[in-house]
Amino acid sequence: MDRTVMPVSYVEAVRWAYRFTLGREAENETVLHHWASLGDGRLILNYFVRSPEAEAHLAAGAPAYGHWALSPLGAPAIRAAYQLRFDTLPTEAEIAAELAAHPDLLSFRRAFLAAPELRELAAREPWGRPQASASGGQARPKAPAAVTLQEHSLTVLDRSFILRGDGPDGYWNDIVSGPNDPSLERLARLLRAAFPDGGAGRVLADVGANIGVTSLAMGAAAPYHAELLCFEPDERCIPLLRHNLTANDFPQARILDCALAERDGMARLRCGARNAATSALAEAHSRVQSAGAVFKDVPVRRLDTVLQELGIERLDFLKLDVEGGETPVILGASGNIARHRPIIFTEFNAWTQMTAGARNPMEVLEEWHAAFRHLVAFDPDGRPFPVLDHDGLLWVLHTVLTERGCLDDLILCDDLDWLERWA
């Protein structure tokens, strides 16, 4: 459906988000601008509907407070509602239809609150809900913490980036206050060693891009790449991924909001409630936890299919971090892997291989070792070394389980020329 092209005012969308979901006006203009900086109406609505205040307000019958509730229904409220629900603006015909369907503003608000996507959001566990205590009772309620966006500076290969993330999210907290992640440096150093020309003309794919940290590292390490494809199926991450790529001067990177596997179709995505980095496909064979989880239907594609549809005829580098679904991604890219022999930088997580993947981790290592000419691991000092035999695979698994928190990085490749340039 064609929609009106108009300047988007997220400040007004936030103003009406307060009125629609909380029944009140915002505290001040500063608060409005703070929420408006999210830059995505659906993300704004997600935060408002899932807040503890919204839960209590809706449970009380969603009363309306203030003079705004006495105003007639007009185009500004309708535009804000569409912006919050669809992150787009209504056509003039849609505005006219809404005005004809609702006699007043409160009737339109009731319809807004009954929309399917709002009911689904409201059914999720709100952020800030008190958790059960160790004794089995309810923990003492705390004042609801505001869900806020935060910014953080990150340096990769002497290039500094400003990241935006979701303050309460566990993955974001690891970035901001956790120990340095060696994977990011390894990824960047591998790309720099593999493509000493800066990646001129290369096609890079970041599968499991999340909010864009690894995508930025890849772009910095191979700045002359031809394509940077960022795959991320979790809709909560997409606005932050888009912002971080654009704000750090990678507007040409392509964001593809689908999961990758060995088939084309649809699948259920188990969304990590407190850590967006733990989202995983819940296939029929999976053993992912379902209690209290949020599941979403997402499109699933073969990488071979996606590249063909995009008209991309090469694949040079593939980064995988998909919570136990790495082998299906490799199978779905088998044509391009056979033709172009890309370097694959993959997470090996023994826990997610056993649960989301329903696989024996040792069997996964054996398959990868057999499928690629070289499987490269990292020694205790962080230096890459080729794994030559079965004893080497046993060392990898033992080290991952006993020393590296159940996960580590591996490199799958056809040649080792880059190893001489590792620095």
Please compute the mean of the pLDDT values over residues 345-366 and round it to a whole number: 96
**CA–CA gap between residue 388 and residue 392 (Å, rounded):** 6
Task: Name which residue leads in pLDDT, 209 or 35.
Answer: 209
Beta bridge partners of 162: 153
Residue length of the chain: 423
E-strand stretches of 215-290: 227-231, 254-256, 259-260, 265-271, 280-281
- The token duo for 423 is 């620095």
**CA–CA gap between residue 85 and residue 65 (Å, rounded):** 22
Q: Which CATH number fits domain 149-421: 3.40.50.150, 3.40.50.300, 3.10.20.90, 3.40.50.970?
A: 3.40.50.150
Give the model's pLDDT for residue 120.
Answer: 65
Give the model's pLDDT for residue 141.
Answer: 34
Give residue 215's identity as a one-letter amino acid code.
S
Query: How far, CA to CA in Å, does 287 sit from each of 233, 352, 355?
Result: 20, 9, 5
Where exactly does CATH 3.40.50.150 map onto the chain? 149-421
**CA–CA gap between residue 371 and residue 360 (Å, rounded):** 17
- The token duo for 327 is 């082998």
Could you tell me whether strands 280-281 and 254-256 are parallel, antiparallel, or unpaired per DSSP bridges? unpaired
Tens of pLDDT, residues 242-280? 999 999 999 889 999 999 999 999 999 998 777 888 889
Please compute the mean of the pLDDT values over residues 177-189 and round it to a whole number: 90
Query: How far, CA to CA in Å, does 398 sit from each of 322, 324, 350, 389?
Result: 22, 18, 10, 15
For residues 253 and 238, the answer to whether their CB atoms sit within 8 Å is no
> Does 127 have pLDDT greater than 50?
no
Residue 74 Cα to chain centre, angstroms: 36
This prediction has a pTM of 0.69
> Does 292 have pLDDT greater than 70?
no
Tens of pLDDT, residues 318-344? 999 999 999 999 999 999 999 999 999
List, in order, residues 6 or more apart from 150 with CB less than 8 Å away: 164, 165, 166, 167, 172, 176
Give the model's pLDDT for residue 37.
Answer: 83
Residue 42 Cα to chain centre, angstroms: 15
